[in-house]
Each structure stands twice: as C-alpha cells, then as structure tokens.
Amino acid sequence: MDIKKNSPNSTGLDVESIRRDFPTLHQEINGKPLVYFDHAATSQKPSAVIQAVENYYRTINANIHRGVHHLSQAATDAFEASREKVRHFINADSTKEIVFCSGTTGAINLVAASFGQKYIREGDEILISHLEHHSNIVPWQLLCDRIGARLRVIPVNDNGELMLEEYEKLLNHRTKLVSVIHISNSLGTINPIKQMVEAAHRHGARVLVDGAQATSHTAIDVLDLDCDFYAFSGHKMCAPTGVGVLYGKQELLSTLPPYQGGGDMILSVSFEKTIYNELPHRFEAGTPNISGVIGLGAAIDYLDSLGFENIEPYEQGLLRYATDAMSTIKSVKIIGKAARKSSTISFISDKAHPHDIGTILDHEGIAIRTGHHCTQPLMSRFGIPGTSRISLSFYNTTEDIDRFMIGIDKVFKMFF
Amino acid sequence: MEDLRELYQEVILDHNNDPRNFRKIDFATHDAKGYNPLCGDEVHLYLVVKEGRIEDICFQGHGCAISKAAASLMTDALKSKTVEEAESLFHRFQEMVTQKPGMEINFEGLGKLAVFAGVREFPVRVKCATLVWHALEASLKKKDRATSE
C-alpha cells in the first residue's frame, strides 16, 4: 500500500501532522480510539478554524458594515476578507458573486425563491436527478406546487451514475433550471457537471450545482464549470456550522429580486419606497453569521495549505484501499459503483441491518452513518430502506480502515 | 462485546433471524403502520380483537434486529391478552427501556420482554424497541399510522 500514516506519503500529505490539527480526533469512544468515518455528515474542525472563531469573539467582536468605530471596521474587514478567499477558492470573477447564507439548503431555497419568482412560470420544467439530497428536492416541489411548474428527474443506472442520454432527452425549451448534485452524499458518485452545464445551456436552461459534498474533496472552478449557481456549506469543509455560500453569475444575480428583507440588504428605506443594496449584500438580510464566515475563511486557508493536488490522490488511495478490503466480504454489497467516485462508500448486508452495524461499530469507537442519508428516492431506486455509509477524508488513514474491517468482522460474528 | 451482548441477547438474535407471527391478516379488526423516519424501519401490525380480547396479532415489515425482535416478542406476548392488559404492558415496557441505567427495574409481568432491558444503555435504540408498541397503540386507537418520533 502506498499510503502510510506515519510519514509524509507519496501524495505529499503529512497525515500524522494533519491529524494533530484536529482536536476531536484524539479521544476515546467506548474505550477505543475514535475512528471518524462520517465526514460527509459534517467534517471535523482544525484548530486554526476554532481559533479564528475564538479570536473574532475575543478581539474584534462587533457588527459589520455599519459601524464607524474601530472594532466594527476590523470585523467588516475580516468578514469581507473571507468573501475574497471564497471567490478565489472557487475561481469566481468577482466577490459580488459570493453570497453568504446559512448553508447549502439556505442557498438552494434562495434560488428557488428568487430565481423561481423571476424566471419560472406555469408549465415550465425544473430538472433534478435521482441522486439528490432532500434539500435539492423539496424546495423545487414547493416551488412547483406554488406556480404549477413540473419537476422532472434524471434517472441513475445500477452503478449510481446519472444516465446522461436520458438527461439529454429530458432537456427541452420548457426546462428553465437544472439543479444537480456535484458529488452524491449517499454513493459518492461524481457527476460530470461541466458536460451537463453545456447541455443545459444549449437548451437555454440555467444550472444550479449542489456542491455540499464537493468542496472538501476537489478543487472547484466555477468559471470552468460555467454553472450559473454553485451552493455549498462551510461545515462540510472544516468550517463551522450555520454558514454557507451561494455563488451566482453576476449577470444573473443582478436580475433577481431580493430573497429576505431586512437590514443590510437595503440602501434606503422609506414607507413609500425602498431601494435595495448592491450585490452581494442585497441577498444578505440581517446580521450574518460573522464568526462563521471568518471561520470559513480560515478553513479555506487550511485546505489551501494542504492543496487539493495532494488531498485528491490521497483520498482516492483511501477509497481504493477500503473498496478492495470490503470487496473481500461476501455478505457485503457496495451500493454505488460509479467510475468516478469520491471517498464515500455505501453498503448493505444481507446479514445485518444498517442500524445494528452502526451500533456495533460505535461500540468499537467507529463513527459511521446509517439510514437513508436524506436521499429516500435514491434508496427506493435501489429497493432498500437505507445503507451504512463510511465517508473518508484526508485526516483518515489506512489504519482507520483496518480498524473498521475488524469492527465489521465483529458485526458478522454477532449476526452469523 | 460484553455490554453489546446486553443489547443483542440470544433471544433477540433468535427472534431477528426467525421472527414469529410474521404474516398478514386479511380480515384484521385493527391495523396500523409504524414508521421510524430516522432509519426507515417500517412495521405493519394486524390484530383481531373480539370482545376486548386480542385473538390474533401479527406483523410484517422490515427493520433492524431490535425492532424486528421487539415486534416478534410483542406479538407473542399479547396473544389472548385483553386490550387493557396490552396497554398496561406497553407502559411497563416503555418504562423498562427508558429507565435510567443503574435504576432498578420491576420485571413483574414482562416475561420474555425483559430481554429488552439492555436497550436502556443505548438511548438512540429505544425507538427501535418501541416502534411496534407505538403501532399497537395507534391500531387500538384506530389511527392508521404511528411514528416513533
């Protein structure tokens, strides 16, 4: 195996040193050292992020954008510096295209409300995929119910990949928006977003990408993808919970009506006429999650210091190692065998139910996710109520996977 | 593994492998579905109640070992009991699985159901053990659906 925990490996990551950056990893659960395999639910946080949040509260805590005093200016500078970091992180043209919100769900709901109001009419079609998280299904159902639009679904094949020929057939002049997940949270499938955006644009449809599972695994380049919107959450990429980003092309964002009304999103208010603020502030009503945004900036600095050119091959190595190990167990069936996958593996077993597997592994100090992963339509597609899922990241090691395999062995000893 | 065995007792593993009363009644006087949105477990409970007594009771569905064994053992325990007895057993059972660890449990009348006492050490699994009982309560109250939430 080319991945070693105790030395900088061939991919250029010093994983032992990285693990020291994450305080939560160094504890015992049920008397066993923690193995954290639930990165896809939420990532662990490095000390640099925790410190950035603490520093804000300890040294520059103030509201932003409206104070003349020193602390307010310092907080505003730190907040806006994060916006520039996000812009650079996803290679957007301008910070005007970076809207801070509560997370991916918040971002999708913003688009559903504002883009929906402006561009979607009765009889129009919104296209999503069978891989979607509930957060990229329900906002569109609500919108469709409200205006009489039609929600259509790109099917997946038995490997958990989108059926692109079917996708092409579904696109037509009524398609106003394609909203699709970049990397499946349940199966790890990496979708060919660039190709899908190209196809959608040929039909005049806009594209929103749910990037919640992508931003900690691979470099994002919104200019190259040419997507119209890109939504992601801080907490899946080492930043705090409660903060996320909606990227939107400036030419499009500038045409959209405001989402929520309140302070910060206006230039002037009178009872007769309110003038809305410029981008991106028009979409940021109320005092935002200032510490979260600053923490997100620190998380981006941290990920940049590791480099996706190192993270990606390392995680792909972990994925291969775990897939190979699990493939040796006859009673385990991996759900999702896409040719392009991130380091997430869903599996079922005819011997043990996911919930029981989760409890027994927890007993071994191994944290995995069980259930439908907020993708019930996808589970139905495979005829299962749920799976057990391990989601790995750059702070995991092959030794973690070995521990997991021993845990799995204990599961099957219980349910022989 | 020792305390895991407290949860996964032999009787539970046996009823998981070979659930009793796992069938459907076409002419049930009462039935209800129980659903645990957390894990997707689903149970459909069927009863034939005559003059306040449970003449037949059975279930179908899918779920984890705990929920399956709970349904199997509950249906065994409730056959030929009166509705009042069933309701009282439900409360005793619920008390047992939610009792704080270390506190004494009164096992009187619980019979084989006592094997679920270990569940109280695993708070996230309490819903697995009580799902079918919630379905029972819903069916007796003529609601068609119960959730363990």
Residue positions of A annotated with a catalytic role? 374
Nearest-CA distance B21 → chain A (Å): 20
Asked if the structure places residue A7 within a domain, the reply is: no
Domain that holds residue A78: 50-304
Point out the residue among A355, A372, A379 whose CB comes nearest to the CB of B64.
Answer: A355
Asked if B126 is an interface residue toward chain A (Cβ–Cβ < 8 A), one would say no
Query: Rounded to whole angstroms, how far apart are CA atoms B110 and A315?
Result: 51
Chain A residue numbers touching B7 (CB-CB < 8 A) = 359
Taking CB atoms and an 8 Å limit, are B65 and A415 in contact across chains? yes
Domain that holds residue B70: 2-141
HEC string of A295-346 equals HHHHHHHHHHHHCHHHHHHHHHHHHHHHHHHHHCCCCEEEECCCCCECCEEE
**Do A75 and A174 fall within a single domain?**
yes
Taking CB atoms and an 8 Å limit, are B122 and A359 in contact across chains? yes
Q: How many residues does the structure list for chain A?
A: 416
Total domains in chain A come to 2
Q: How many CB atoms lie within 10 A of CB A286?
A: 10
Distance from the Cα of residue A162 to its chain's centroid? 18
**Do A338 and A388 fall within a single domain?**
yes
Asked if the structure places residue A39 within a domain, the reply is: no
Query: Rounded to whole angstroms, how far apart are CA atoms A345 and A404?
Result: 13
Asked if the structure places residue A2 within a domain, the reply is: no
| Beta bridge mates, B34 | B43, B146
Asked if the structure places residue A38 within a domain, the reply is: no
Q: State the average pLDDT for chain B.
A: 91
Of A303, A244, A258, the residue nearest A89 (C-alpha): A303
Between residues A304 and B38, the one the model is more confident about: A304
Contact A233, A248 (CB under 8 A): no
Nearest-CA distance B4 → chain A (Å): 7
Nearest-CA distance B9 → chain A (Å): 10
Distances (CA, A) of A19 to A22, A27, A402: 5, 12, 17
**Do A294 and A359 fall within a single domain?**
no
Q: Select from A244, A273, A304 the last residue of a domain.
A: A304
**Do A264 and A321 fall within a single domain?**
no
Probe site for chain B from A30, A32, A355 (most B CB atoms < 10 A): A355
Taking CB atoms and an 8 Å limit, are A371 and B63 in contact across chains? no
Asked if the structure places residue A8 within a domain, the reply is: no
Sign of CA dihedral A5, A6, A9, A14: positive
**Do A59 and A207 fall within a single domain?**
yes
Taking CB atoms and an 8 Å limit, are A356 and B66 in contact across chains? yes
Residue A5, C-beta contacts closer than 8 angstroms, at least 6 positions apart: A15, A16, A397, A398, A399
Taking CB atoms and an 8 Å limit, are B39 and A370 in contact across chains? yes
**Do A218 and A348 fall within a single domain?**
no
Of A247, A187, A242, the residue nearest A215 (C-alpha): A247
Give residues 345 to 374 of A whose Cβ lies within 8 Å of B. 352-356, 359-360, 363, 370-372
Point out the residue among A356, A371, A410 whose CB comes nearest to the CB of B1.
Answer: A410
Taking CB atoms and an 8 Å limit, are B4 and A371 in contact across chains? no
User: What is the structure's pLDDT at A59?
Assistant: 98
Asked if the structure places residue A320 within a domain, the reply is: yes
Asked if B39 is an interface residue toward chain A (Cβ–Cβ < 8 A), one would say yes
DSSP string, B55-120: EEEEEEEE--HHHHHHHHHHHHHHTT-BHHHHHHHHHHHHHHHHSPTTS----TTTGGGGGGGGGG
Of B80, B76, B74, the residue nearest B137 (C-alpha): B74
Residue A98, C-beta contacts closer than 8 angstroms, at least 6 positions apart: A83, A86, A87, A92, A245, A247, A280
Taking CB atoms and an 8 Å limit, are A372 and B13 in contact across chains? no
Taking CB atoms and an 8 Å limit, are B63 and A353 in contact across chains? yes
Q: Which two tokens stand for residue B124?
A: 């996230």
**Do A285 and A376 fall within a single domain?**
no
Contact B66, B36 (CB under 8 A): no
**Do A361 and A392 fall within a single domain?**
yes
Q: Select from A304, A332, A362 the last residue of a domain.
A: A304
Query: Rounded to whole angstroms, how far apart are CA atoms A399 and A80?
Result: 40
**Do A230 and A289 fall within a single domain?**
yes
Asked if the structure places residue B148 within a domain, the reply is: no
Nearest-CA distance B71 → chain A (Å): 15
Helix residue ranges per DSSP H, A206-283:
222-225, 250-253
Q: What is the CATH number of the domain that holds B129?
A: 3.90.1010.10
Asked if the structure places residue B10 within a domain, the reply is: yes
Residue A96, C-beta contacts closer than 8 angstroms, at least 6 positions apart: A250, A253, A278, A279, A280
Nearest CA in chain B to A349: B64
Nearest-CA distance B119 → chain A (Å): 11
Q: What is the CATH number of the domain that holds A21?
A: 3.90.1150.10
Asked if A333 is an interface residue toward chain B (Cβ–Cβ < 8 A), one would say no
**Do A323 and A278 fall within a single domain?**
no
Contact A303, A250 (CB under 8 A): no
Asked if A376 is an interface residue toward chain B (Cβ–Cβ < 8 A), one would say yes
Taking CB atoms and an 8 Å limit, are A372 and B62 in contact across chains? no
Residue A246, C-beta contacts closer than 8 angstroms, at least 6 positions apart: A99, A101, A106, A107, A110, A111, A229, A230, A231, A283
**Do A272 and A315 fall within a single domain?**
no
Chain A residue numbers touching B125 (CB-CB < 8 A) = 355, 359
Q: Which two tokens stand for residue A219?
A: 């470099």
Total domains in chain B come to 1
Asked if the structure places residue B84 within a domain, the reply is: yes
Asked if the structure places residue A262 within a domain, the reply is: yes
Q: Select from A304, A333, A361 the last residue of a domain.
A: A304
Of A140, A142, A145, the residue nearest A153 (C-alpha): A140
Per-residue pLDDT of chain A (416 residues; tens, 9 = 90+): 444 444 445 678 999 999 999 999 999 999 999 999 999 999 999 999 999 999 999 999 999 998 889 999 999 999 999 999 999 999 999 999 999 999 999 999 999 999 999 999 999 999 999 999 999 999 999 999 999 999 999 999 999 999 999 999 999 999 999 999 999 999 999 999 999 999 999 999 999 999 999 999 999 999 999 999 999 999 999 999 999 999 999 999 999 999 999 988 989 999 999 999 999 999 999 999 999 999 999 999 999 999 999 999 999 999 999 999 999 999 999 999 999 999 999 999 999 999 999 999 999 999 999 999 999 999 999 999 999 999 999 999 999 999 999 999 999 999 87
Q: How many residues does the structure list for chain B?
A: 149
Query: Rounded to whole angstroms, how far apart are CA atoms A239 and A52?
Result: 10
Point out the residue among A360, A363, A386 whose CB comes nearest to the CB of B40.
Answer: A386
Residue A226's region, left for phi above 0, alpha for psi from -120 to 50, else beta, is left
Q: What is the CATH number of the domain that holds A227?
A: 3.40.640.10
ipTM score: 0.89
**Do A171 and A81 fall within a single domain?**
yes
